[in-house]
Amino acid sequence: MVINESKLHLKTGKSPLATVEVDADSLEEQGKMFSDVIYESLMEYTAKQGKDVCFSVYTYFSQSLSFHEPTNSYFTGVVGKKDFLKSLLRNFSSISGVRAKFSDYINPEQSVLEYHVENGQVWRPYERGSWWCEDEKNPVSETPENDEKNIENIASSSKPTKQYRAARIVVVRSGWMKFYQGPRTGDKRPQRGGSFNIDNVGHESYNFKAINNKLYGFFQSPSSSYGFNLGRIEPQYSNKDYIDNVIVAIIASHPQYGGQWLIGWYKNATVFSEHQIADLHGEKQRSYQFTADLKNAVLLPVNARLSSFEIPRGKGGMGQTMVRYRFDMSHREEKIPWINDLLNYIHNYNGSNVLRSNEDLTKENTIETQVKDDLDSLIQEERILEGGQTKRLSNHFERNPKLRVQAIKNHGFECMACGFSFLKNYGDWGEDFIEVHHVTPVSSMENLTSINPKTDMLVLCSNCHRMIHRRRNNPLSLDQLKGIIKQAGVA
């Protein structure tokens, strides 16, 4: 749930805050994330205290000598309910090998407001001017009418809202894979996405492989230790090591048809200024620069990508860079005309998500795969119809996979002539299979300027498709074929 921050009583002040300090290196060595421990401690504390507590949590990152040697340390201070620090220290200290203690004061004006507790909920910054919590009920507004007036309901918005202008978002380029579950038959390595992928299996091949319900993402950066420039995501984080609550949009170029297409995203991600190293898959150490909970990620099915969001080409697009930020090197917000449309697409998406279905992760016969097979079949068909001569039209309509996918989405998987369903007759083996037929013969397309997949393309079973083309220079119309079927009494 997302609300405007005006509905919360955020605690601020200028007085120095007492803190709990934790050695960041010792925390990382134990495989723990600072943000996870903070959040879990807040949830635990809030459950015990009830809905009456209201306080804000500030964090600060700095080098320290508090543990009698130079360390990188996280400092956590509280405005409003200082005894939370006792609970937090207890939780940090309970992790074997982690060093934590009550420590020096921090200035809240130079720290980052990362969490807020109110009405029994733990809130985190979402986009500038808004906060979010995981509970679907709204504990702040009193009536549905107030909900309509005060909550920035991004999920149901049909247009970009003002909140989108300052969203924490970064766009990264990846190679193209079907499932991003690591090398596997039919999906051995990322395709395109940089010269590294030509002879190597990039770490991005695991970008959507969950480990204990967490995802660990990677993009190929210019340096072996380089992560994100956090100041270009949110200027106030220039000297930080990580930043939470970021949308990481992942794009890739189709191996055959090119373009830069949105293939998936992490929401509420933590991104890092340097590579993080972990033995995540039991095979070898690998790098990651961003991470998120599995439940906050979407991987688009292959068949949906060519009709998802395409990054515009030319000036203002991605160019040759592997990552696109909202802010320039001087921390001025860049004018990226498509960024709000991208955010709007992500926030309003309610389609298929490969990560929600284990079956989809092994499924090879997607619509996109069928489109490729159909194109191959069409070439073979033309060899037959043209006496063995393959006719390859330069007109892009003939081979446009996006049009074919759209035709299938419009008409479904049952034959428009006889009603035959491959799924019903062949079970799983026939799922998502159908052939696509051009109403206007491909040989007559040279003068066409546009094609409407809904009216100019049909979906047919293999038999009906062959019957329509049985007379070389006189293909049947759909109504003619239906009439023949009806007269024969077979449908």
Per-residue confidence in pLDDT tens, the chain, 491 aa: 788 888 999 998 888 899 999 998 888 788 787 888 998 999 999 999 988 899 999 988 777 788 888 777 889 999 998 899 999 999 999 999 999 999 888 888 778 888 999 989 999 886 557 788 875 443 333 333 333 333 333 333 333 333 333 468 999 998 888 888 888 766 777 876 554 555 556 678 889 988 888 999 988 765 544 788 898 898 888 888 999 889 999 999 887 677 889 999 999 899 998 888 766 555 555 688 999 999 999 999 887 888 889 888 777 777 767 889 988 888 887 878 888 889 888 988 888 888 876 544 544 445 555 555 555 444 444 433 333 333 443 334 444 667 777 888 888 889 999 999 988 888 756 767 788 888 876 556 555 556 788 888 899 998 998 898 887 677 889 999 999 998 887 65
DSSP 392-448: --SSTTTT-HHHHHHHHHHH-SB-TTT--BHHHHHGGGGTT--EEEESS-GGGGGG-
Query: Which element (helix H / strand E) includes 132?
Result: strand 130-132
End-to-end CA distance of the chain: 51
The whole-angstrom distance between residue 89's C-alpha and the CA centroid of its chain comes to 35
Cβ atoms of residues 370 and 433 within 8 Å: yes
Order of strands across the sheet that contains 17-23: 2-4, 130-132, 121-125, 112-118, 55-64, 71-79, 17-23, 100-106
CA neighbor of 268 nearest in space, from 10, 35, 55: 35
Q: List C-alpha distances in Å: 451 to 65, 394, 442, 473.
A: 69, 15, 12, 21
Q: State the Cα–Cα distance between residues 247 and 33, nearest whole angstrom.
A: 18
Positive or negative, the Cα torsion across 227, 231, 233, 237? positive
Measured from the Cβ of residue 215, the count of other Cβ atoms closer than 10 Å reads 27
Q: State the Cα–Cα distance between residues 267 and 349, nearest whole angstrom.
A: 12
Q: State the Cα–Cα distance between residues 219 and 300, nearest whole angstrom.
A: 18
User: Residue 319 in 3-state DSSP?
Assistant: coil
Query: 340: exposed, middle or buried (C-beta count within 10 Å: 0-12, 13-18, 19+)?
Result: middle
User: Residue 98 in 3-state DSSP?
Assistant: coil
Q: State the Cα–Cα distance between residues 209 and 271, nearest whole angstrom.
A: 17
Q: State the Cα–Cα distance between residues 124 and 377, nearest whole angstrom.
A: 53
Residue 437 has, within 13 A of its CA and on its CB side, a CA count of 22
Q: State the Cα–Cα distance between residues 380 and 402, nearest whole angstrom.
A: 21
Q: State the Cα–Cα distance between residues 105 and 127, nearest whole angstrom.
A: 28
